[in-house]
Amino acid sequence: MTQDPHYEQLLGHIRQWARRRHLRDTLVWLPRALLIGLLLAVLLAAAARFRPLLTNEEVGYLALGLGLAGLLAGAIALLSQRATLLQQARFADRQFHLQERVTTAVELHTGRVTAPAPFPEQQLQDTLQAAAAVDTRQALPLRLIRQDWLMLLLAALLLLAAVWLPNPQASILLHQRAIAQTIEEQVAALEALTEEIIANPELSAAEKEALLEPLQTAIERLQNDDLNQAQAVAVLSEAEADLRSLSQNEATNLLQNLNAAGQPLAGNANAQALGQALQSGNLAPAGVAAAQLADQLPSLSAAEQAQLAQDLAAAAAALQEIDPTLAQELAQAATALQNGDVAAAQQALQAASGTLQQRAQQAAAAQQAAAAAGQLQSGREQVAQAGQQGQGQGQGQGQGNDSGTGGGTGGTGGETGHAENVYVPTFVDLSDESGVEIQLPAECLANPETCGALLSERTTELGEEQSIVPYDQVFGDYRNAAYEALAEDYIPLGLKGFIRDYFASLEPQ
């Protein structure tokens, strides 16, 4: 039905009451929403005091974020509560004790209820008079609930204390994160190394597979989330030992002793390219030169063939203990030339060419394995030292915290491995110390044998004794030998973990 000015006046009262109600609810529920967010932050801050979860700085940011999230959620909830006109009228009747006047007036003027004239107008006038008599501030006061604000203050103080006071778990947390980050970096480095090996054109498929197997195994084991520091070091050490063994093959020894084998051939005008390639350690060009020399044999004179036979025999003798296969092929070529059998000499040199090409490929694989082992060694050292800087920062936050010193435990986050770090005493030179004088009984001075065997012995004169090999240099040999024994000898599976953890705990820091 058509609205009149009196009804518009009633709507003005209803809107005013609705706005005040909304303001009252805002003053009540926004602090409570903020309190919920801060209480969640308090719980997380308390948990971070018992477990390595968050640093103090992160607790502060978390409290700020949860508080803002609580405010935002509260504001959205308040804005989403849009009451209809009839609901607002019913609220006014209940709140101001208007005895259903406002509800009836709204229903009459919206057509929900019909009544004969002049009852609607009279009822509206009565409602306006009752509405004008309402003291909105007294009947709908705006109040701040003291308990809520006290709880807010308490939560804020607790969070300030959590941010300000040292956290005993901070050093453990930073130690764990430093280790986890270092392990992730090593995984990325190993993945890049596998791509490099796959793309190496000098390696055969079998050699690539042999090199990739320890790397891929290490990557899979390092990606295990339950891996601790000692186990990660053991994984890298085992892969390094496997690659070290792959880097030692026939071609490695051959490369180290080629100069003597190439010297007699380098002085021969016809075999100079082969000799120089051998002297410089270039096995692939040496293989090509051997094949070219085989092709030149028919054009050589008898004297040149005889001289070449002598030089080939000398080269074969130099290689006999290093590479018997290659030495035999060169010796066969020399013998064939001495017997005037050029075809047999060509065949022997072609075989030597193939052997040199094969050794070149093996040398490339050995060099790749050695480079990979060196990278794994560097990564292993980084993982072994990963927690030291993080712990230093954590002790700045948590003063007096004894949760870790360097690599003190085999595990992370309070979780130890099978073996604790073994104490290695610091070397102290006492040669310049005067010592402490003691008085022996008179009978000991007269007859030392009566006072024990040691008193009857003569002291050893001290020379210029000193440590011959530093610990960090000799440790790798012992570790690699142990890991090779793990792979080759029968050792119960239950003991392998103890052995790996033991050597990991001995890693030089």
Distances (CA, A) of 411 to 85, 187, 419: 66, 19, 9
pLDDT confidence of residue 280: 82
Residues 135 and 262 placed together within one structural domain of the fold: no
Select from 164, 182, 212 the last residue of a domain. Answer: 164
For residues 52 and 176, the answer to whether their CB atoms sit within 8 Å is yes
- Amino acid at residue number 263: Q
pLDDT confidence of residue 447: 60
Q: Cα(437)–Cα(446) distance, rounded to whole angstroms?
A: 18
Q: How large is the angle between the packed helices 146-164 and 56-80, nearest 10 degrees? A: 150
Structure tokens at 69: 């999230």
Mean pLDDT of 93-122: 88
Q: Over 60: is that where the pLDDT of 108 sits?
A: yes
Give the pLDDT band of residue 205 (cuts 50, 70, 90). Answer: confident
Q: Cα(43)–Cα(444) distance, rounded to whole angstroms?
A: 73
- Would 205 be classed as within a structural domain? no
- Amino acid at residue number 11: L
Instruction: Say which residue the tokens 């295990």 belong to.
Output: 224
Residues 26 and 147 placed together within one structural domain of the fold: yes
| Helix, strand, coil percentages in the chain from 3-state DSSP, rounded to 5 | 70, 0, 30
Residues 160 and 264 placed together within one structural domain of the fold: no
Residues 10 and 151 placed together within one structural domain of the fold: yes
For residues 360 and 284, the answer to whether their CB atoms sit within 8 Å is yes
Question: Measuring CA to CA, which residue among 201, 197, 176 is closest to residue 376?
Answer: 197
Question: Measuring CA to CA, which residue among 174, 180, 171, 175 is closest to residue 232?
Answer: 180
The H or E element spanning position 410 is none
Task: Count Cβ atoms below 10 Å from residue 3 Cβ, excluding itself.
Answer: 11
- Would 263 be classed as within a structural domain? yes
pLDDT confidence of residue 438: 57
Q: Cα(481)–Cα(454) distance, rounded to whole angstroms?
A: 38
For residues 335 and 262, the answer to whether their CB atoms sit within 8 Å is no
Q: Is the dihedral of CA 343, 348, 349, 350 positive or negative?
A: positive
Give the pLDDT band of residue 507 (cuts 50, 70, 90). Answer: confident
For residue 127, report the phi and psi dihedrals to the nearest 5 degrees: -65, -40
pLDDT confidence of residue 77: 92
For residues 382 and 229, the answer to whether their CB atoms sit within 8 Å is no
Highest mean pLDDT of the ranges 95-109, 216-230, 381-395: 95-109
User: Please, what's the largest Cα pairwise distance for the chain?
Assistant: 145
Between 255-264, 297-306, 386-395, 465-474, the lowest mean confidence (pLDDT) is in 386-395
- Would 300 be classed as within a structural domain? yes
DSSP string, 279-323: HTT-HHHHHHHHHHHHHHGGGS-HHHHHHHHHHHHHHHHHHTTT-
| pLDDT tens digits along 379-394 | 888 888 876 654 444 4
For residues 355 and 326, the answer to whether their CB atoms sit within 8 Å is yes
Residues 12 and 158 placed together within one structural domain of the fold: yes
Q: Over 70: is that where the pLDDT of 293 sits?
A: yes
| pLDDT tens digits along 167-181 | 988 888 888 888 888
Q: Over 70: is that where the pLDDT of 99 sits?
A: yes
Residues 154 and 31 placed together within one structural domain of the fold: yes
Residues 158 and 261 placed together within one structural domain of the fold: no
Q: Cα(480)–Cα(234) distance, rounded to whole angstroms?
A: 11
Q: Over 60: is that where the pLDDT of 414 sits?
A: no
Query: Higher model confidence: residue 459 or residue 434?
Result: 434
- Would 268 be classed as within a structural domain? yes
pLDDT confidence of residue 94: 92
Peptide bond into 298 cis (omega under 30): no
- Would 57 be classed as within a structural domain? yes
pLDDT confidence of residue 449: 59
Between 30-44, 123-137, 225-239, 490-504, the lowest mean confidence (pLDDT) is in 490-504
pLDDT confidence of residue 440: 53
User: Residue 277's domain spans which residues?
Assistant: 251-380
pLDDT confidence of residue 396: 46
Structure tokens at 236: 């890298």
For residues 463 and 218, the answer to whether their CB atoms sit within 8 Å is no
Between 23-37, 255-269, 440-454, the lowest mean confidence (pLDDT) is in 440-454
Mean pLDDT of 352-360: 86
Q: Over 90: is that where the pLDDT of 50 sits?
A: yes
Q: Over 90: is that where the pLDDT of 33 sits?
A: yes
pLDDT confidence of residue 68: 96
Q: Over 80: is that where the pLDDT of 426 sits?
A: no
Select from 164, 189, 218 the last residue of a domain. Answer: 164
- Would 82 be classed as within a structural domain? yes
Question: Measuring CA to CA, which residue among 225, 169, 196, 189 is closest to residue 50?
Answer: 169
pLDDT confidence of residue 429: 53
Query: Higher model confidence: residue 418 or residue 364?
Result: 364
- Would 101 be classed as within a structural domain? yes
Q: Over 50: is that where the pLDDT of 445 sits?
A: yes
Local structure of residue 132 (DSSP, 8 states): H
Highest mean pLDDT of the ranges 100-109, 278-287, 353-362, 436-445: 100-109
- Would 503 be classed as within a structural domain? no
Q: Over 80: is that where the pLDDT of 417 sits?
A: no
Q: Over 80: is that where the pLDDT of 443 sits?
A: no
Residues 268 and 155 placed together within one structural domain of the fold: no
pLDDT confidence of residue 74: 93
Mean pLDDT of 330-359: 90
Mean pLDDT of 236-247: 85
For residues 179 and 386, the answer to whether their CB atoms sit within 8 Å is yes
pLDDT confidence of residue 69: 96
Residues 265 and 158 placed together within one structural domain of the fold: no
DSSP string, 261-274: HHHHHHTSSSSHHH
Residues 150 and 264 placed together within one structural domain of the fold: no
Residues 158 and 9 placed together within one structural domain of the fold: yes
Q: Mean pLDDT across the chain, nearest whole number?
A: 80
Q: Which residues contact 314 (CB under 8 A, 6 or more apart)?
A: 264
- Burial environment of residue 276 by CB neighbours within 10 A (0 to 12, 13 to 18, 19 or more): middle
Domains: count for the chain: 2
pLDDT confidence of residue 165: 92
Between 90-94, 320-324, 445-449, the lowest mean confidence (pLDDT) is in 445-449
pLDDT confidence of residue 491: 63
Select from 363, 380, 397 the last residue of a domain. Answer: 380
Local structure of residue 140 (DSSP, 8 states): S
Residues 16 and 126 placed together within one structural domain of the fold: yes
Q: What is the 3-state secondary structure (H, E, C) of 426-483?
A: CCCCCCCCCCCCCCCCHHHHHCHHHHCCHHHCCCCCCCCCCCCCCHHHHHHHHHHHHH
Between 66-75, 228-237, 248-257, the lowest mean confidence (pLDDT) is in 248-257
3-class secondary structure, 326? helix
Query: Higher model confidence: residue 390 or residue 344?
Result: 344
